[in-house]
């Protein structure tokens, strides 16, 4: 994939896996995300992922789309975690909620997402500044 194709793919998808590494331990977990302005934007509550990214902000993200073994695309991106606060966190939460709401038709699921973003305790909003990315596609995705 060209860099333009990689960026387009990242914009089209909204679920990926983030790999964190700290204290000789690697942790890979799914995330909902938005790709904008050369960064992956997301949110989470306190937990192992956030603790590890605070300890070692260098992360790897994998996003894929698989129709079958002869038709798939995958992107790997490396970047640096930034925990957002104040106005940056508010902007990040808006970026994430606006994009993810587009993907949810069910009113109950939309309510739960809104509650997760605006409830108490407030989530940690973050961005991963991407500094390297590559992708591969096999076959034709429909």
Find all residues with CB under 8 Å of 81, minimum gap 6, and list them. 53, 54, 57, 58, 59, 126, 127, 128
Given this model, what pLDDT does residue 140 score? 83
Given this model, what pLDDT does residue 7 score? 97
Given this model, what pLDDT does residue 57 score? 98
Model confidence pLDDT, tens digit, residues 109-124: 888 877 777 777 778 9
Given this model, what pLDDT does residue 88 score? 93
What are the domain boundaries of the chain? 3-135
Model confidence pLDDT, tens digit, residues 125-135: 999 999 999 99
Model confidence pLDDT, tens digit, residues 44-92: 999 999 999 999 999 999 999 998 888 899 999 999 999 999 999 989 9
Give yes or no for residue 21 having a pLDDT over 80: yes
Architecture of domain 3-135: Roll (2.30)
Stated pTM of the model: 0.87
**DSSP per position, 46-94:** SSHHHHHHHH--EEEEEEEEEEETTEEEEEEEEEEEEE--HHHHHHHHH
Give yes or no for residue 31 having a pLDDT over 90: yes
Given this model, what pLDDT does residue 24 score? 95
């Amino acid at each position: 994939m060209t860099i333009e194709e990689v960026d387009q793919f990242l914009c089209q998808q909204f679920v990926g896996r983030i790999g964190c590494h700290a204290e000789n331990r690697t942790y890979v977990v799914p995330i909902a995300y938005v790709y904008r302005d050369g960064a992956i934007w997301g949110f989470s509550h306190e937990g192992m992922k956030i603790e590890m990214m605070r300890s070692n902000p260098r992360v790897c993200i994998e996003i894929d789309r698989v129709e079958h073994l002869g038709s798939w695309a995958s992107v790997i991106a490396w970047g640096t975690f930034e925990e957002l606060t104040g106005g940056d966190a508010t902007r990040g939460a808006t970026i994430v909620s606006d994009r993810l709401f587009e993907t949810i038709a069910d009113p109950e699921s939309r309510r739960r997402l809104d509650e997760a973003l605006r409830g108490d305790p407030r989530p940690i909003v973050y961005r991963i500044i991407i500094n390297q990315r590559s992708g591969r596609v096999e076959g034709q995705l429909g």
